Amino acid sequence: MRYLKIALAILVAIPLITIFYANGQIVELVILPQGLERFVGLNAIMGPIRVPLWAVATGFLALGLILGFFWEWFREHKHRHEAAKGRQSKAELQAEVRKMKARENAGKDPVLVMVEESGTAR
């Protein structure tokens, strides 16, 4: 299994390295278009950023994955909430059953109670 994981990692790494090498040219990233940038005043604060194209693609891929994970986590909140309520209800009902059995079996011989609960009484 270990060798299979290593082989799979190599099969994924080779195309990624090839793509990164092929897209190594430097690109300029700006926050806003030039007309809007002058209007807002960000040009003086932060000019264009020069990075390799593969870094831009990888960054946006990572950002998309992170946003997708958070979106799914928020979307499934109602399911997690209902599951927690179900677990709480189950625990309350189990406690109630234990109390009822304790009241029913009060004063009885513990060995006979265990035999009756197991259902193997003859």
Q: Do both 85 and 67 map to the same domain? A: no
pLDDT at 104 over 90: no
Same domain (yes/no): 36, 6: yes
Does pTM surpass 0.85? Answer: no
> Both 8 and 43 in a single domain?
yes
The DSSP code for 51 is: E
What is the percentage of the chain residues whose pLDDT exceeds 90?
56
Angstrom CA distances, 58 to 65, 70, 119, stand at: 11, 19, 63
Residues 111 and 56 in one domain: no
12 and 61 part of one domain: yes
Instruction: Clarify whether residues 46 and 89 are in a common domain.
Output: no
Question: What is the spatial distance between Cα 117 and Cα 69, in angstroms, rounded to a whole number?
Answer: 48
Q: What pLDDT is recorded for position 43?
A: 61
Q: What is the pLDDT of residues 23-69, one digit of tens each?
A: 889 999 887 777 777 677 666 667 788 999 999 999 999 999 999 99
In angstroms, what CA-CA distances link 98 with 35, 70, 105?
73, 41, 10
The predicted pLDDT at position 89 comes to 96
The span from the CA of 60 to the CA of 71, in Å, is 16
The continuous run of DSSP H or E covering 52 comes out as: strand 49-52
Co-location of 42 and 86 in the same domain: no
Give the per-residue pLDDT at 108: 80
